Amino acid sequence: MIPAQFDYVRPDSLDQAFRELASDEDTKVLAGGQSLLPLLRLRLAYPSKLVDVARLPELAGAHDRGDHVFVGAMTTHDEVMRSPVVREGCPLVALATATVADPAVRHRGTFGGSLAHADPAGDLPAVVLALDGVFVARSAGGEREIPAARFFVDYLESALLPGEILTGVKIPKLGDGWGFHYEKFHRTAQAWPIVGVAVAVRRTNGAIQEARIGLANMAPTPLRARAAESALQGAELGDQVRQACGEAAEGTAPPADLHAQPDYRRHLARVLTHRAVRTAAGAP
């Protein structure tokens, strides 16, 4: 398919980008284009103008900021998964990013673009939610921070306001004793996850002290598996962990589509959470 006509601008600075965004209410921000361009080509979106921010230097790269890693919104997936700062500071992000689509997509698609798109089937929203990332948004009026728990509002809808651009995400470093895993269940290597489970656990003396679990594609937004998280507190590997992970589908509202019905997704959430927790906890 072919998109309808639109204007295209590539501003040199964020300030110029804000001016472009303000000039027309049907303007959309273009990042790597891996989600927006298909929507345009299928004529499901008709923006009047695209403001291409992919090359803005302010939005580039991952940076070590002491207690957190700041990942610039326009860092490509490929850069993220290879970044030593990310791999050391927030390895779960690197692990999950390596499973995104295929190399071609990972070279174009961006970290911030896929988060701002707020697709619950995306890999990264569940990961950033599990890690309690903090979204940094800027507009002509200034900068504000949005905790991950409040960023994903509804299906394909984020807390970003018109005129705001996501500049990056602060990912807190979890420190020693944490293990990570991203368990992605999909039918082909390039396909979206039917269910994705992002897990960070702290384990001492054989028992789980703390668990954070983000679920992809289990509701109109990414979710935390809160019931399982609390049930896992103090759980020992084996039956206790298995039982706790049985609560992974509590409070979810999974979609029905060509690839899976809701009951199957709930089942998968339980099985995959168990596997992810065991792997993250270093179980043999």
Q: Which is nearer to other proteins, 38 or 141 (CB)?
A: 38
Least separation in angstroms between CB 199 and other proteins: 17
- If one asks whether residue 6 binds other proteins (CB under 8 A), the answer comes out as no
Which contiguous run of DSSP H or E holds residue 76?
A: none
Between residue 11 and residue 40, which ones bind other proteins under the rule CB under 8 A?
38
Residue 131, helix vs strand vs coil: coil
Pair of tokens at residue 179: 């293990």
Q: Which range binds other proteins by CB under 8 A, 8-16, 21-29, 87-95, 185-193?
A: 185-193
Residue from 7, 12, 44, 190 touching other proteins (CB under 8 A): that is 190
Return all residues near 162 (Cβ < 8 A) that are at least 6 apart.
Answer: 21, 25
Q: Which range binds other proteins by CB under 8 A, 104-112, 151-159, 234-242, 254-262?
A: 254-262
- If one asks whether residue 5 binds other proteins (CB under 8 A), the answer comes out as yes
Pair of tokens at residue 225: 């598996």
Nearest to 34 by CA among 131, 128, 125, 100: 100
Q: Which is nearer to other proteins, 166 or 195 (CB)?
A: 195
Q: Which is nearer to other proteins, 173 or 267 (CB)?
A: 267
Q: Which is nearer to other proteins, 63 or 267 (CB)?
A: 267
Residue from 15, 23, 261, 282 touching other proteins (CB under 8 A): that is 261
Q: Are 223 and 215 in contact (CB under 8 A)?
A: yes
Pair of tokens at residue 260: 């899976």
Query: Token pair 């890693």 is at which residue?
Result: 69
CA dist 96 to 111, 201, 209, 230, Å? 11, 16, 23, 23
Residue from 66, 188, 239, 284 touching other proteins (CB under 8 A): that is 188
**CA–CA gap between residue 45 and residue 52 (Å, rounded):** 16
**What one-character DSSP code corresponds to residue 98?**
T
- If one asks whether residue 42 binds other proteins (CB under 8 A), the answer comes out as yes
Contacts with other proteins by CB under 8 A lie at 1-2, 4-5, 38, 41-42, 102, 185, 187-192, 194, 258-261, 264, 267-268, 271-272
